[in-house]
Structure 1
Amino acid sequence: MDTGRTTVLVLVVLLSTSLLAGVAYSSGSVQETTTTDERYTLFGVQADGWFGYNNGYAAVVDESGNTVWNWSVPNSRVFDTEQLENGNILISVAVSVPQSECPTHYQEDQYDRPCVQNRVVEVDYESKDVVWEYSWFDAFPNHHEVHDADRLDSGETAIADMGNHRAFTVDQSGTITWEWNASDHISRGTEWFDEHVPEGSEEEFARNGPESDWTHLNDIDHLENGNFLLSVRNYDVTLEVARNESIVETYGEPGNHSIMNEQHNPNLLENAGTLVVADSGNDRIVEINASTQEVISEYGSVPPGSNVGDPSLRWPRDADRLPNGNTLITDSRRFRILEVAPNGTVVWSHLRQEERSLVYEADRIRLDGEYLPEEPSVADTDGTLVTRTNRPLTDLYATLDSYLAFVPFLPTWLGPLPLLVAIGDLGAGLLLVRELRR
């Protein structure tokens, strides 16, 4: 046995083990600070565990993280949740249905997979009874789940239908009162497609079959001017669409990931003239000048010592500017909700790493009879987040970190560096064992 070589291997194992131990984080909780007075937070969880699980729910927590309300149905994934002016909760939920219970034309699917029943439900807060519902079936759950619905002042409900690549409104009787189909306006051969899709990228943004996820239309907001704001995730754009179905504004560019990359839940702050976007593919929150489309701030990591787990964001899917100028962030693959002050400080957090809750969307609400709009028009116009993001080398690290999120059995804290350390530790350990056996 080579004594010197053995000593080196022992030192490598000890050093790498100590480094790995230092990476695991505390679960953290509430940060003491100033924030909104009524700090109840409503949120929708796509699933506990990982993507593809069907155990989603809606919940409300108080400022200490205690659950004060929850709602769920079996075999479901919950996405958008919002409080209505009457105090009820509007929930977008996708229910996985066994193929034998699906409509006849879906029972003929050769893959013997479940279909999905998309439900937009209004739930009485006190009784948890469904008091209004609009629903439809689609071919299968993945990329066919309803992600968003908004109640309009008219009593109509606006819905983003991902599986059918459309946005529409229904009245209280369930009659469709307006409809916009992506195939008519942004598919290959349309004027918009020819103008906005870069030459040579036509195949990337083309529709490939009736069930292909070519748009991933995941959000709809009703604007003060009567138009709708639609998030077309797989095109990296957000569209402002008029009631006559014309596209009056395009934010972002297909394939230009410097602006948006597979975004979720864009909010147009009309009084500030900016767009706050959960820029999921870039693992950041961006604020964009609505006129120039310049990114005026980006937030991709929390300050040191925030005690909320890994500092970098990973696949955030919601960002709401609150009336006090703070920003409420849903950081999906970090399993947490953060309230961040304009200077970037985390002033409140709700951490769900133990449950591995894929939180989709969160709103600050009140339970005293008052109402906070989902996107308040009175939000502080000086609330732009200070830029905190990663650069060259750390950008690569963040990308690798995001890919690791697709490996369900890895601990949530295990990023690229600790993974490399662990692999090195294992390799050194095996070499040490072999050396000792000589």
Structure 2
Amino acid sequence: MTPLLPAWFGTGHERRAKLFACLAVVCLAIATVGVLAAPSHPRLATDHERPENNTLIALQGYQDDGRAIEVAPDGEIVWEYDETDDVFDLEGLGPDRVQISTADEIPDARCPERYRNDGHANCVRNSLKIVEQSTNETRWEYAWYDVELHEHELHDADHYTTEDGEDRWVMVDMGNDRVFAVDRDKEIVWEWNATDDYEMPDGMGPEADWTHVNDVDRIEPGVFQISLRNFDTVAELRVGDDGSVSLRPVVGPNSFEGGEGPLYEQHNPDRLADDHLLVADSEQDRIVELNADGEIVWTFGGSGTLQWPRDADRLSNGHTLITDSYNERVLEIDENGDVVWEVTTGTLPYEADRLPGEGSADRPTAEEAGLADAGDPGNVVEKYLGYATAISKYVLPNGVGEQFVPLLGGALALLGAAIEGVRWRSNGRLRAWLAQRTDR
């Protein structure tokens, strides 16, 4: 019988070692080609039905490459702001002005004294900025420091006006588990602390990621909707004229311990018509709409379609704009669940808003828009492989993390080659020793 492999491949451990080595070379070559041939971003990936208006996209990024961009319907960048490490919330305020929620990691030497020797490397400077797009100059800013970048960032803010026409900005302070509002003079006008209504679990330190409060929207005068991510809960804050604040859960178990509920570590809940909620149900890789009773009435996604989505806006035409974070794209789907417009970002997006600002508002419900459930539920392997790929992008240089699968294959093949090589050499030494004993 003709051998399948040349004689020089040897037999047994020698053959397997050489096969693993060849596989490692192939995998690493594929990864190298993938890095060199990676397309530029953002890039228009689907163009079946172009929107009429531009889209604002907040790019959190992976390794201090956060930026804010405005993308035209043809996918071209028409504005960019990259003077920060991470960008989370991004909202249009009218002609030539945007509001940006940012977080910057600051070296210890430049941090306030209380954060220099606190046991954490560096500190974070959270900043809400009003930026003039034509010049990228900051026209107004509210900022504060915290112990570290992760789980201590400013993820969301909302601008509103009082009945007297005075400007207010409400922000979520994740690191201190609070929500607060300031006026134009940067004075705090009301504040809610999670400790007002919840008891922190025993053994959890002050810098632990307790509530992970990540979103706030003014629903109506005196009513603000918040997202308590680690509680799998959406709640309302009701603010009195005297600044007093009371909390009312809307959906979820309303406790850090969790429990039965439709959401799992959600982001950016938006209030629709009839008190429906449109929520990025992030850890379940889907977008859901819930009615006023907290029942799911529409879903889109699954790990075969979305990977850790963190924003969804219902547009006035009934379409839904989705920020699919770990798949690094922003997509618009129609009433059938078909993707009609899509931009790949090349880095981690946090949220997107279609100008002039179609977000949390009196938008049509799934029933009104005639929406059908859609998406691919995927499988466990698909889900965790996508998660591992995303995590690698936080660690590896830009562009390299996208080649996680061939790099993993190459690493495993090299490990296999090393193991089989050791066995081959060990068996060779054993045979030589036995031969010497026989000769005696």
> Which bracket does the TM-score occupy, shorter chain normalised?
0.7 to 0.9
Counterpart of 1:58 (choices 58, 68, 71) is: 68
Instruction: Determine whether 1:42 maps to 2:56.
Output: yes
> Is contact 1:288-1:297 (8 Å) kept?
no
Q: CA deviation at 1:114?
A: 1.4
Letter in 1 for 2:216: I
Q: Partner of 2:270 in structure 1?
A: 267
Letter in 1 for 2:341: W
Letter in 2 for 1:341: D
Question: Counterparts of 1:315 and 1:94 in 2: how far apart (Å)?
Answer: 21
Which one of the candidate residues 125, 130, 133 is aligned to 2:133? 125
Structure 1 position 4, deviation (Å) = 5.5
| Separation of aligned partners in 2, 1:80 and 1:280 | 16
Contact 1:273 1:291 in 2 (8 A): no
Distance 1:158 1:219 in 2: 10
- Mapped to 1, the partners of 2:309 and 2:414 lie a distance apart of 33
Separation in 2 of the partners of 1:207 and 1:434? Answer: 47
Kept after mapping to 2: 8 A contact 1:287/1:384: no
For residues 124 and 408 of structure 2, the distance between their equivalents in structure 1, rounded to whole angstroms, comes to 40
Q: Which residue of 1 aligns with 2:435?
A: none
Report the CA distance shift for 1:420/1:56 in structure 2 as closer, same or farther (over 3 A).
closer
1:101-137 CA-to-partner distances (Å, cap 9, x unmatched) read 22221123244x2111111111112222211111111
**What SS does the aligned partner of 1:242 have?**
strand
CA contact (8 A) 1:232 1:238 kept: yes
Aligned-partner SS, 1:313: coil
Q: Does 1:351 align with 2:354?
A: no
The Cα of 1:428 is off from its aligned counterpart by 8.1
CA gap 1:252/1:412 in 2 versus in 1, 3 angstroms: farther
Aligned to 2:301: 299
Q: Tell me the residue number matched to 1:389.
A: 376
Contact 1:312 1:398 in 2 (8 A): no
- TM-score, normalised to structure 1, is 0.77
Per the alignment, residue 222 of structure 1 pairs with 218
Contiguous gaps of at least 5 residues in structure 1: 189-202, 302-310, 366-370
How far apart, CA to CA, are the structure 1 residues paired with 2:143 and 2:281?
29
Deviation of 1:63 (Å): 1.4
Cα shift at 1:419: 7.9
* Residues 431/239 of structure 1: CA separation in 2 closer, same or farther (3 Å cut): same
Flag the 1:258–1:247 CA change in 2: closer, same or farther, 3 A: closer
Q: Output the CA distance in 2 between the equivalents of 1:249 and 1:218.
A: 16
Q: TM-score, normalised by structure 2?
A: 0.77
CA deviation after TM superposition for structure 1 residue 429, in Å: 7.3
* Shift, 1:77, TM fit: 1.2
Are residues 151 and 385 of structure 1, via their aligned partners in 2, closer, same or farther at CA, if it must alter by over 3 Å?
farther
Q: Hey, what does 2:431 align to over in structure 1?
A: none
Distance in 1, Cα, partners of 2:4 & 2:407: 27
Aligned partner of 1:231 in structure 2 is: 227
The aligned residue for residue 284 of structure 2 is 282
Give the AA of the match of 1:317: R
What residue in structure 1 maps to residue 434 of structure 2?
none
Q: Deviations over 1:310-360 (max 9, x none)?
A: x5321211111111111111111222111112212111111123xxx1111
The 1-side partners of 2:70 and 2:203 are apart by 39
Identify if the C-alpha distance between structure 1 residues 109 and 300 changes in structure 2 by more than 3 Å, giving closer, same or farther: same
**Using a 3 Å threshold, how does the CA distance of structure 1 residues 431 and 276 change in structure 2: closer, same or farther?**
same
Aligned-partner residue type, residue 59 of structure 2: V
Q: Sort the Cα spacing of 1:31 and 1:257 in 2 relative to 1 into closer, same or farther, 3 A.
A: farther
Alpha carbons of structure 1 residues 62 and 390: separation in structure 2 relative to 1, 3 Å: same
- The one-letter amino acid of 1:401's match is G
2:305 to 290, 309, 312: 312
Q: Within 5 Å, which residues of 2 pair with 1:153-164?
A: 153-154=161-162, 155-164=167-176
Question: For 1:84, what is the secondary structure of its paired residue?
Answer: strand
Cα displacement (A) at 1:376: 3.4
Three-state SS of the structure 2 residue aligned to 1:406 is helix
Give RMSD over aligned pairs. Answer: 3.5
Helix, strand or coil for the counterpart of 2:115? helix
AA partner of residue 225 (structure 2): L
CA displacement 1:242-279 (0-9 Å, x = unmatched): 1142222331225347611111111121x143211111
Letter in 1 for 2:184: Q
Cα distance in 2, alignment partners of residues 352 and 382 from structure 1: 28
Q: 1:292 to 1:110 in 2, by over 3 A?
A: closer
Select the structure that is richer in helix: 2
Tell me what 1:305 maps to.
none
Give the structure 2 partner of residue 171 of structure 1: 183
Q: Distance in 1 between matches of 2:271 and 2:232?
A: 16
Structure 1 pair 130–423 and aligned structure 2 pair: CA distance change class (3 A): closer
User: SS state of the match for residue 386, structure 2?
Assistant: helix
Matched AA of 2:91: E
Q: Which amino acid aligns with 2:71?
A: V
Kept after mapping to 2: 8 A contact 1:218/1:265: yes
Please say if 1:376 is aligned against 2:361.
yes
2:89 — aligned with what? Answer: 80
Asked whether the equivalents of residues 50 and 74 of structure 2 are also in contact (C-alpha less than 8 Å), the reply is: no
What CA deviation, in whole Å up to 9, does each residue of 1:8-44 have, x standing for no partner? Answer: 9899989xx79x98xx899673423235322x11111
Helix, strand or coil for the counterpart of 2:154?
coil
Cα distance in structure 2, aligned partners of 1:72 and 1:335: 18
Distance 2:374 2:339 in 1: 14
Superposition deviation, residue 152 in structure 1: 0.5
For the residue of structure 2 that corresponds to 1:405, the secondary structure is helix
Question: Computing the radius of gyration over CA atoms, which structure comes out larger, 1 or 2?
Answer: 2
Percent identity (aligned) = 35
Cα separation, partners in 2 of 1:295 and 1:423, compared to 1, 3 Å: farther
Instruction: Confirm whether residue 339 of structure 1 aligns to residue 335 of structure 2.
Output: no
Aligned to 1:147: 155
1:401 aligned to which of 354, 361, 386: 386
Shift of 1:151: 0.5
